[in-house]
Amino acid sequence: MGKLQHQTAIVTGGAHGLGLRFAAALAREGASVAILDIADSEAAASGIGSACFGLTADVSDEASVNAAVAAVLDRTGRIDVLVNNAAVFSALPLAGLADIDVALWDKVMAVNLRGPFLMVKHVVPHMIARGYGKIINVGSGTAYRGIPWMLHYVTSKGAIIAMTRAMARELGGWNICVNTVSPGFVVTEGREVDPEYEKIRAQQRSLKRSQVENDLVGTVLFLSSAESDFMTGQLLNVDGGYHFVG
């Protein structure tokens, strides 16, 4: 029997990349998994199996989030785990702060920050009613380094850390755990990577190799399961020892 037998999990941005890998892993542990994405969610879910189903949703839009959460509850009757993975990143061009268009700034904040807030806002009443829940927010190592040319993205991920801690304080009385898992640069399927720079990046880690999607799966499963029932408000840095965060 899996660690998440008879539970329901939601993974936002779950149709591709890390989100899809998280959804598949949660399903293998026995959970019914709802993949929420702006596109391809049903196709992604069908590739995982009957334990998974897809819903088209825009996490930056409250009506869309409310409808998706209601659809999950109609289908499964419960929500135990929420993985806030959806984010705008790969399509962002490098730009100096003076060159970032305000509309693009707002879009990044809408998806990367408002999205997790809205998901928690609409999911957490059902967790409170049951007196239990797990919320995993996906951060980024860029928030520690403060890398240039990506101010909108870095700012959004830094805010995720603060939001996680505030949520953990507010929700702990109902046995709801809220944590951040923070990856480094992950080589995902279909992602264009400069092989020479990736060699340099790997050598800068304590563990001298590229980071791949599976490197995050164990941490997300741990934070989703009863094994982490006394851990909340924490930042778990999973990047092969690129950063030491204390």
The catalytic residue positions are 153
Whole-number Å distance between alpha carbons of 209 and 13 = 26
Q: On the CB side of 232, how many CA atoms lie within 13 Å of its CA?
A: 21
159 alpha carbon, distance to own chain's centre? 14
Whole-number Å distance between alpha carbons of 108 and 179 = 21
- Name the residue type at position 174: W
3-state helix, strand, coil in the chain (%, to 5): 50, 15, 35
Residues 6+ apart with CB under 8 A from 164: 137, 139, 178, 179, 180, 233, 235
The candidate with the shortest Cα–Cα distance to 13, out of 47, 53, 41, is 41
* Cα Rg of the chain, angstroms: 17
Residue pair 123/82 in contact (Cβ under 8 Å)? The answer is yes
Q: What does DSSP say about strands 235-238 and 176-183: parallel, antiparallel, or unpaired?
A: parallel
The candidate with the shortest Cα–Cα distance to 41, out of 92, 104, 107, 85, is 85
Whole-number Å distance between alpha carbons of 219 and 217 = 6
